[in-house]
Each structure stands twice: as structure tokens, then as C-alpha cells.
Structure 1
Amino acid sequence: MILSSRETCIAYRCPYCGTGVKSMVGVFSLSGAVKKLKCDCGSSELKITQLRDGKLRISAPCIFCMTEHSFVISSKLFFDKELFVYPCPYSAIDMIFIGTPEAVSAALDKSEQEFIKMLRDSGIDDLDRLHGELDRDDDETPIDSSLYDAVMFTIRDLIDSGNVTCCCDDGDYDVAVSDDHVKVFCRNCGASCDIPTDSELAVRAFELCNHLKLEKL
């Protein structure tokens, strides 16, 4: 089935309330200002920006690692594809859905089931427990050091196995540690990626990662 080139459906899942947020997007609505798809809870939004070459940059917060992921897609793929999905780079679970309303709804439902299973496998029973650590006061219990150790082990394993890539042909990779994340970066081209260490689910998802692509901001 080929979708009309004038309109498509786009959806993401709000990382704060867990609701699947969907909207139809027409070709004329993308001209000019940034198109925003906001969750009714008011805590998150997906942004669509039309670039000078006609391509579209799509950005949305990730329910798995609580960071914003961004990618560029051609307008033809955006409007003509029956279903296009963009996965979280760490968990490989789909987080942004584009296509026909029927295909997007089905993919969103499937992603919800995968997300619920991941929560249960991690011993997390609600979103408050998933992201509650983001609201810690400085005098509360510090983040479990085992999460940091798991991230560092996975990073080193990816580097040693040649599964980290960047913008140059001969990457020279290193890490920089912060309170809530570990930055993996290339000394040569400056490309980087921040890996959260303050969310158990994000860490468990990153442990499943088999390739890490560093990008320039």
C-alpha cells in the first residue's frame, strides 16, 4: 500500500506518562516553522524540522534512555512509506513510527508490549520507578555503581570488538565520565555519544547494544 504523498501519520511514546502520541502531518504544515507534536501531559514533544535540501530532521525524547534522539529522513520516505520505524540505538526497540495510520497504530501497540516486557524483566513495575532516579536530591542514596560498571564493560567490549564507528576512517576512541553518563568520543573527529548511567532500564538496554555509532553534534 502506498500512502498519499500529501499526508502521513507520525507517533512516539511519551517518556513521562507512557502515552502513545500520534498525529497526521500534511506536506504544507511542514513549511516554515518547526512542527511540534506534544503529549497531552505537557512534558514531552516530537519535533519535525524541514532542512534546506528538503529533507526532514525528526527529534524526540526516548522513553528508554531519557535522551533526545534525532535523525534525518527524505520527504519521499516520510510521506510514501507504508511504515518506517526508528529504534532507540541502545535498546533496539522502536521509538518513532511513520506511515499509514493503521500501520503506525499496529507498530505502536507492538512496541508497547516489548516495552512492558523489558520493564518486567528489569524488575520495574511503573514509569515512576523507571525515571524516579532523575528526581533524586543530592543527599539521597547515590546511583548503584554496578550500573556504571556495566556501562563501562559494554563500552570496552564494543571498542575491543571493533563495533564502535564514527565520522572518520581511523577512529581513536576514549571515554569521559560524568555524574549521570559516560561520554564515548573519538579523539580524531570529535564525534561522541552519551551513555546514561542513572537509569537501570537504560543501562540494561545498552547492554544489548551490538554497535555504537558516534556522531558530531
Structure 2
Amino acid sequence: MNFRVLVDLKRIVAYICPFCSNMSSKSLSIFNFSGKDKVQLICPTHGCHETCVTIAEKHDKYKFDIECPICGDNHSYTTTKENFWNKPLLTYKCPVAGIDVFFAGEKDLVENMLNENTDMFSDILDEFDDDDSDISFNLIYSIIERLHALQESHNISCACGSEDIELNIINGNIILTCLQCKKSKAIETTEETLTRLLNAKAIIIGK
């Protein structure tokens, strides 16, 4: 490993506990990895203390195993050591929901990303607080998964021609916003909506 290319041997990592939903951050230095096979990021919440993220060294790379707070699966990502210590900001998304669940980098940038994502994540959690939480989770998960699939296949666009579409959850609804012209479209989180989306071939905002 060429230490001459490293600018800062300290990084802030932030993650969301999939068990109690607490958002945590931790400072890591190069010494956290010294002589260890794995670094485990634990939820600091009293009574929880579950392992949320495991980072393993593999030659010149780090492998991240992230317990996803959105879909419940374990997601694996790999980056070079040089990239981890040099890049100002790294973010990893739930591949199903397209929502950031892990952040690493410079303190200010990580904190800004946490602030931007806190409202979205809180809105998702609010959907699961009632007695039908399992039904709500499955429904919103299925809708987000379908929207993500449509976006990946370039079938979500705006009437202005842009495909640069942002997804947010506001007051229980999923809001699609064109980042170019700022037009938006609300997607209700209902069974009827899911049925329509499963049959839909495309979504156009502004029509």
C-alpha cells in the first residue's frame, strides 16, 4: 500500500441500524484495521448493540457487508483502500429502494448527507408504526422496487425530456421529482397503485 498517496488516514462512517433504526456515526482511522481481520460497526443504542456493518480487508481492498435497514437483506460492496481513505465521500445504496444506507468520508460531507437522508428514512419508518406494519412494509417495499425497476430500464422520465428523476417519501406518498424542471408526481402507497405500476410500461412526470 502506497502511503504517499493518502491524504487523510481518518474517516467518518455513518450507518443505520436495521434492528432499532438508530442512525450512528463513528470515526475510523488506519489503526482500527491494524492486526484485525474485520472491523465491526455496532449500534450504540442501549439494549441493542447489534452489528450493522462489517468491513473486511482483502489485499488492497475493503469489503463492506451492510445489514440493510430498508429491505432487510445483507448487501456487499467493495472499494480499494486508496479510494476509501482518499475519496471525500462514499455512499452505498440499498439496490432495491435506491436509498443511501451507508456513508463514509470527510466529517462535514457525511453529516450533510445524513441530514438530507434523515427525513426520507424517517418517513419510511413512520409507515411501519401502525398495527399493519408488516403489510405497510411489504407494500411500500414492492412499490419502491417496481419504481426502481422502471427507472433502471429508462422508463421513468419527465415531459421535459429529462430522465434525472429523484425519489422521496413525503407524508406517506412517494414523490417523483424531475431535477431539471422541478415538475413532480405523487405516487400513493396503496394496493391499487401497486397493481397499476406492475402493469405500467412507463411513467412520465408532467402528463
TM-score normalized by the length of structure 2: 0.60
What residue in structure 2 maps to residue 93 of structure 1? 99
Is 1:57 matched up with 2:73?
no
What residue in structure 2 maps to residue 73 of structure 1? 79
Q: 2: CA distance between counterparts of 1:67 and 1:14?
A: 13
Give the match's secondary structure for 2:98: coil
Structure 1 residue 75, shift from structure 2 partner: 1.0
Q: Which one of 183, 196, 200 corresponds to residue 139 of structure 2?
A: 200
Please tell me the residue identity of whatever aligns with 1:75.
K
Change (3 A) 1:23 1:88: same
Is the strand fraction higher in 1 or 2? 2
Unpaired stretches in structure 2, ≥5 consecutive residues = 1-5, 154-207
Check whether the contact 2:16–2:23 (CA below 8 A) recurs between aligned residues. Answer: yes
Q: Which has the higher contact order (CA 8 A, sep 6+)?
A: 1
Unpaired stretches in structure 1, ≥5 consecutive residues = 134-143, 148-197, 213-217
Change (3 A) 1:86 1:117: same
Change (3 A) 1:95 1:50: same
Give the match's secondary structure for 1:5: coil
Structure 1 residue 43, shift from structure 2 partner: 2.9
Structure 1 residue 125, shift from structure 2 partner: 4.9
Q: 2: CA distance between counterparts of 1:129 and 1:39?
A: 26
TM-score normalized by the length of structure 1: 0.58
What residue in structure 1 maps to residue 37 of structure 2? 33
Q: Which moved more, 1:198-207 or 1:96-105?
A: 198-207
Query: 4+ residue stretches of structure 1 with deviation over 4 A?
Result: 127-130
What residue in structure 2 maps to residue 188 of structure 1? none
Listed as ranges, the matches of 1:88-167 within 5 Å are 88-119=94-125, 124-126=127-129, 130=133, 133=134
Check whether the contact 1:16–1:127 (CA below 8 A) recurs between aligned residues. Answer: no
What residue in structure 2 maps to residue 84 of structure 1? 90
Give the match's secondary structure for 1:209: helix
What residue in structure 2 maps to residue 19 of structure 1? 22
What residue in structure 1 maps to residue 197 of structure 2? none
Please tell me the residue identity of whatever aligns with 2:29.
G
Q: 2: CA distance between counterparts of 1:44 and 1:129?
A: 27
Cα displacement string for residues 139-162 of structure 1 (whole angstroms, at most 9, x for unaligned residues): xxxxx7xx9xxxxxxxxxxxxxxx
What residue in structure 1 maps to residue 49 of structure 2? 42
Change (3 A) 1:202 1:13: same
Change (3 A) 1:74 1:15: same
Please tell me the residue identity of whatever aligns with 1:33.
D
What residue in structure 2 maps to residue 195 of structure 1? none
Structure 1 residue 55, shift from structure 2 partner: 0.3
Q: 1: CA distance between counterparts of 2:57 and 2:131?
A: 35
Cα displacement string for residues 38-97 of structure 1 (whole angstroms, at most 9, x for unaligned residues): 002223321110002x10001111111011111001111111111111111011111110
Check whether the contact 1:64–1:205 (CA below 8 A) recurs between aligned residues. Answer: no
CA RMSD of aligned residues (A): 2.6
Number of residue pairs the alignment of both structures matches: 142
Please tell me the residue identity of whatever aligns with 1:62.
C
Check whether the contact 1:59–1:69 (CA below 8 A) recurs between aligned residues. Answer: yes
